[in-house]
Structure 1
Amino acid sequence: MRLAEVFSPPRNPCGYYKDRYSCFRYFYIQNCSRAFCQGLVERGFRRFGEYFFTPMCQGCSECVSIRQLVHEFTLSKSHKRIIAKNLNTSVLITRPSISQEKLLLHEKYHQIMAQKKGWAFQRMSPESYVESFVEGFCDFGYEILYEIEGKLVGVGYFDMLENAISAAYFFYDHEFSSQSLGTFNILTQLLLAKSKGLSYFYPGYWIEGHHSMGYKERFKPFEILVNTPDIFELPLWKAPESTTP
């Protein structure tokens, strides 16, 4: 395993608050082991390709690492309705790869999100797609392909670790928004983790009450990371004191 540490420029515009800037701590790791990946995820890191990152923003700690307790998770009535309306959605779990169909869907998704939520749009090259989603999957990285009547409508990426699943990214076709594919993707991974007897599901960072990042609290019960441990320090997880109703 080969590891190098870098920091992002300290004045990158924040993707969630227009009046703030972001800074990330990165590790570049080639041939990462499953155990080391899990250790980083437990300490608040996320993986994209061979890069692991965690926010280190001065004066702001809104992005919170969150994890669902898989053994205690049960489907709500709403969850069951979403699963029922996706009975005809084909779900294929495979190893990460690139295709023209995925590139086009990724581009279409981000064009819509630029219109809906003001995301900065930049066309992703095949090389960037491979660097972000395909490289570094080692023996633990997977992708989920969602198809309806033979049409690719969603792509999700996740890592299956020793006692957890860590979600990386998901994009979908907004023409099929009525299928609630974002929620269906999370439920697919939560139920997969439960079937494997895993303890946790890490959906990424959570910002309480935020229009883009607040939805992750809907999957209960969950814990949050309350410290910012270095890689050799113990992470402290606990149930949140309160959440937005």
Structure 2
Amino acid sequence: MRRSDPVRLFQTLPHACGYYAERTAQNLVLDPAAPQLDQLYGPALERGFRRAGGHLYYPHCPQCRACTPCRIDVEHFQPDRAQKRCLKRNADLTIVECMPGYNRERHALYERYLRTRHPGGGMDDADASDFRRFLTAPWSPTLFLELRLGTHLLAVAVTDVCVNGISAVYTFYDPAETARSLGTCAILQQIELARRRGMPWLYLGFWIDGHPKMDYKRRFKPLQVRGADGWRELA
């Protein structure tokens, strides 16, 4: 299979929206059985798709277009004052690039994070198979960025390294360490990883204008969003 070959595109059934309780959502999904998904991943990212487990998907809701793909311009990014303070607070951490996958230490942290941040959301009782299924895929160019204080694991940033950019897939961290702003710290470390690898973009998934859970993404400037006419810088 070549990247120019046709790839089947499926539409999911309606399901509960993760951002608006009164809405339903649907996704377009590239055929998960298609060979060479690793080669399709980069072009799919460029077109606004995102990985969840072994699926590359794009929101396609009949009555809503709120989810907007976004990415950070790595070359021109400069941390603001709050982000500089975050880096200073976490200067005692060690950042380690690791092979992806399940182990008990990561799973325990993942469980604590989900129980605290997403109680009752359907993910807060994740076993080992749930961990593997959601965070990794056999074809995906994934690494885990571990943030450690000494030997203690504080955060894991699940990070996909593609030929045309890096994708911030998911980050989970110790909920007792809120003062460290570990989510922000993880993105800053992914930006540095992109710079070391010579990658122009850090893809942050989707941004929703006016949604409080997505507002933090605006602070990583310059941020680009993708619309019908392609990518543009968000004012």
Question: 1:132-182: CA deviations, max 9, x gaps?
Answer: 2232354x2111111123211111111112231111000111111111100
1:236: which partner in 2? 230
State the one-letter code of the partner of 1:39. Answer: P
Q: TM-score, length-normalised on structure 1?
A: 0.86
2:125: which partner in 1? 123
1:1-80 equivalences under 5 Å are 5-10=9-14, 12-27=15-30, 28-29=32-33, 32=36, 34-80=38-84
1:96–1:137 contact (8 Å) kept in structure 2: no
2:37–2:139 contact (8 Å) kept in structure 1: no
Question: 1:20-72: CA deviations, max 9, x gaps?
Answer: 00111122156645542110011111112321111111110111100111111
2:106 to 83, 87, 102: 102
Gaps of 5+ in 1: 228-234
Q: Distance in 1 between matches of 2:148 and 2:37?
A: 31
Note closer, same or farther for the CA distance 1:39–1:73 as it changes in structure 2 (3 Å cut). Answer: same
Note closer, same or farther for the CA distance 1:199–1:34 as it changes in structure 2 (3 Å cut). Answer: farther
1:160-179 equivalences under 5 Å are 160-179=161-180
Question: 1:195-222: CA deviations, max 9, x gaps?
Answer: 3222111011111221111211110011
Q: Distance in 2 between matches of 1:193 and 1:170?
A: 16
1:166–1:201 contact (8 Å) kept in structure 2: yes
Question: Number of residue pairs matched?
Answer: 230
State the one-letter code of the partner of 2:27. Answer: F
Q: Distance in 2 between matches of 1:211 and 1:57?
A: 20
1:30–1:50 contact (8 Å) kept in structure 2: no
Q: Distance in 2 between matches of 1:194 and 1:55?
A: 29
State the one-letter code of the partner of 1:124. Answer: A
Q: Distance in 2 between matches of 1:198 and 1:219?
A: 16
SS of the equivalent of 2:154 reads strand
SS of the equivalent of 2:40 reads helix
SS of the equivalent of 2:131 reads helix
2:137: which partner in 1? 135
Question: 1:46-105: CA deviations, max 9, x gaps?
Answer: 112321111111110111100111111112222221111111112111121101121121
Q: Structure 1 vs Structure 2: percent identity of aligned residues?
A: 29
Q: Distance in 2 between matches of 1:82 and 1:22?
A: 34
Q: Distance in 2 between matches of 1:98 and 1:81?
A: 32
SS of the equivalent of 1:72 reads coil
2:145–2:156 contact (8 Å) kept in structure 1: yes
Gaps of 5+ in 2: none
2:150: which partner in 1? 149
SS of the equivalent of 2:118 reads helix
Q: Distance in 2 between matches of 1:178 and 1:167?
A: 22
1:49–1:136 contact (8 Å) kept in structure 2: no
1:153–1:172 contact (8 Å) kept in structure 2: yes
State the one-letter code of the partner of 1:54. Answer: Y
